[in-house]
Amino acid sequence: MTERTLVLIKPDGVARKFVGEILGRVERKGLDIVALKMLTVSEEDATQHYAEHAEKSFFPELLEFITSGPLVAAVLEGPRAIAAFRQIAGGTDPVAKAVPGTIRADLALDGQQNLVHGSDSPESAAREIAIWFPELR
Ligand code: CMP
């Protein structure tokens, strides 16, 4: 089933010059990039995006990190796009969870500065796409 997912290349990914590397992996997987932009996110939008983590102890640090500099936001489309991107991203913790061959395992060490975000469900994807790409509605 064709679906859409919201992907972020977080500020660490841009700073480390992995935009091409990560988008290349997305394209090699066969997913379509249907929208793409670079921006520095406001605290308000970042808070909305990460609303489900608002009560977590790491939330203030996460907010500071995600607003710290330019990031790349993309909408990907393809069959099972949500699971497909999460597969190539690897688990949240690049060392304890991500499997070698994934973006996070191959390129990251830190559980927070882990290069990418991908929506975890169709409901999250719809909610997140509306935050990052209101012009697509
Ligand atoms: P992401 O997939 O964008 O979803 C929530 C983000 O919170 C996650 O990637 C990490 O960047 C961050 N995160 C998750 N767990 C932790 C943690 N235990 N400590 C710090 N940051 C975390």
The DSSP result for 62-98, as a single string, is HHHHHTSS-EEEEEEEEETHHHHHHHHH--SSTTTTP
Query: Side chain identity at 120, as an amino acid letter?
Result: D
Q: Is the dihedral of CA 47, 53, 58, 62 positive or negative?
A: negative
Please tell me the pTM assigned to this model. Answer: 0.98
Structural domains of the chain in order of their starting residue, each with its CATH number: 2-136 (3.30.70.141)
137 pLDDT tier (thresholds 50, 70, 90): confident
86 is in an annotated binding site: yes
Question: With a 6 A CB cut-off, is 36 part of the ligand 1 pocket?
Answer: no
Whether 111 lines ligand 1, by a CB cut-off of 6 Å, is yes
pLDDT digits (tens, 9 = 90+) for 7-61: 999 999 999 999 999 999 999 999 999 999 999 999 999 999 999 999 999 999 9
Nearest alpha carbon, ligand 1 atom 7: 112
**What residue owns the CA closest to ligand 1's atom 11?**
112
Please work out whether the CB of residue 58 comes within 6 Å of at least one atom of ligand 1. Answer: yes
